Amino acid sequence: MRYNRLGSTGLYVSELCLGTMTFGGKGFFEYMGGVGQQDVDALVRTAFDAGVNFIDTANVYSEGLSEEMTGRAIRNLGLRREDVVLATKVFGTMGAGPNDRGASRHHIMDQVKASLKRLGTDHIDLYQIHGWDAATPIEETLRALDDLVRQGHVRYIGVSNWQAWQIAKALGISAR
């Protein structure tokens, strides 16, 4: 397996990343099929035996069940946490309330705590915003992410499903 630096960081991740969107198969993700815990353990073991050290999940995958199953697999297999690069994402709807989605400080702070608990870890290696939130000022989102890094809950931040102009805007604001 080859490993590359994650962006401009000193963190090395495998060229292949194990995606977990089908772990659990609950809610919206039920139509994709559901991979049970025994198979999740086998998939994670096979990936790690092949040199994959990078696992990607999201709070919305199977309504959080994917994160739970991923964390459980790491523990079931006795993998050292420091050998695993865990990525998860925040943005999608996680409840019925008006603040249960998006990239507001409120939602990010609530969801990072929930993701840490579901994953059974004290930190997330890569925490990504899973979509552009036109209703929340980008400054609010970036401050929340910066606070999570400073608090040690998150080591690196990123985005998913953003357009180039959105990334450029966030980078410009971050440079200030």
The one-digit pLDDT tens for each residue of the chain (176 residues) are 999 999 999 999 999 999 999 999 888 888 887 899 999 999 999 999 999 999 999 999 999 999 999 999 999 999 999 999 999 999 999 999 999 999 999 999 999 999 999 999 999 999 999 999 999 999 999 999 999 999 999 999 999 999 999 999 999 999 88
pLDDT of residue 85: 99
Domains of the chain: 3-174 (3.20.20.100)
Distance, CA of 47 to CA of 13 (rounded, Å): 13
The sheet carrying 17-19 orders its strands as 17-19, 54-56, 85-90, 124-129, 154-159
AA identity, residue 172: G
Query: Taking the complete model, does pTM exceed 0.85, yes or no?
Result: yes
Active site residues: 61
pLDDT of residue 154: 99
Positive/negative CA dihedral, 27, 28, 34, 38: negative
